[in-house]
Amino acid sequence: MIGVAGSWVRLSVLTAWVIAQAPATARAAGTAERTFSVAYDAPSFCPGRERFLEAVRARAPEATLRDGDADLAFAVRVAPEGTLASGIFTVRFRKGEHFAREVPASPCDDVITSMAIMAGLLLSGALLPEPPPSPEAEPIEPARPPEPPRAPAPPAEPAPPVRATEAPRTAPASPLRVRAGLFVDGRLDFAAAPFPAFGVAAGLDGLLERESWFSPGARIGFLYVTGDATAPPLGGAHFALRALTLRGCPLRVALGASWSLAACGLFEGGVLTASPRDTVGSNGDSKMSWLGFGAAGRVEAPLIERLAVEAEASAFGLVHHDRFVLQPGDVNVHTVPAFSGAISLGLVARWP
Least confident interval from 210-214, 217-221, 253-257 = 253-257
Looking at the fold, whether 259 and 342 belong to one and the same domain comes out as yes
329 part of a folded domain: yes
150 part of a folded domain: no
pLDDT tens-digit readout, 188-206 = 999 999 999 999 999 999 9
Q: In which region does residue 235 sit, left (phi positive, over 0), alpha (psi from -120 to 50) or beta (all else)?
A: left
24 part of a folded domain: yes
Asked if the model's pLDDT at residue 1 lies above 60, the reply is no
Looking at the fold, whether 207 and 106 belong to one and the same domain comes out as no
Looking at the fold, whether 196 and 291 belong to one and the same domain comes out as yes
Looking at the fold, whether 306 and 223 belong to one and the same domain comes out as yes
157 part of a folded domain: no
Looking at the fold, whether 117 and 192 belong to one and the same domain comes out as no
User: Apex CA 48: angle with CA 45 and CA 54, to 5°?
Assistant: 140
172 part of a folded domain: no
Backbone phi, psi, residue 238, to 5°: -110, 125
184 part of a folded domain: yes
Looking at the fold, whether 194 and 341 belong to one and the same domain comes out as yes
Mean pLDDT of 279-301: 89
141 part of a folded domain: no
Looking at the fold, whether 212 and 329 belong to one and the same domain comes out as yes
In this structure, are residues 7 and 110 in contact, taking their beta carbons and an 8 Å threshold? yes
In this structure, are residues 2 and 110 in contact, taking their beta carbons and an 8 Å threshold? yes
pLDDT band at 94 (very low <50, low <70, confident <90, very high): confident
pLDDT band at 67 (very low <50, low <70, confident <90, very high): confident
Asked if the model's pLDDT at residue 70 lies above 90, the reply is no
CATH number at residue 51: 3.30.160.100
Looking at the fold, whether 195 and 116 belong to one and the same domain comes out as no
List, in order, residues 6 or more apart from 66 with CB less than 8 Å away. 35, 36, 37
* Total domains, the chain: 2
The Cα 247–Cα 202 span in angstroms is 12
End residue of a domain, out of 101, 130, 159: 130
Closest CA to 336 of 202, 217, 241, 249: 241
CA distances for 263 relative to 209, 211, 260, 266, 299, angstroms: 14, 16, 10, 10, 9
Asked if the model's pLDDT at residue 2 lies above 50, the reply is no
List, in order, residues 6 or more apart from 296 with CB less than 8 Å away. 247, 263, 264, 265, 266, 312, 313, 314, 315
Looking at the fold, whether 101 and 183 belong to one and the same domain comes out as no
Looking at the fold, whether 342 and 209 belong to one and the same domain comes out as yes
140 part of a folded domain: no
Q: Which residues share a beta bridge with 232?
A: none
Looking at the fold, whether 123 and 229 belong to one and the same domain comes out as no
CATH number at residue 211: 2.40.160.20
pLDDT tens-digit readout, 158-191 = 655 645 454 445 544 557 889 999 999 999 999 9
The helix (H) or strand (E) run that includes residue 113 is helix 108-124
pTM, full prediction: 0.53
Domain boundaries, position 269 = 178-351
Handedness of CA 306, 37, 39, 15 (dihedral sign): negative
Q: Is 147 exposed, middle or buried (0-12, 13-18, 19+ CB in 10 A)?
A: exposed
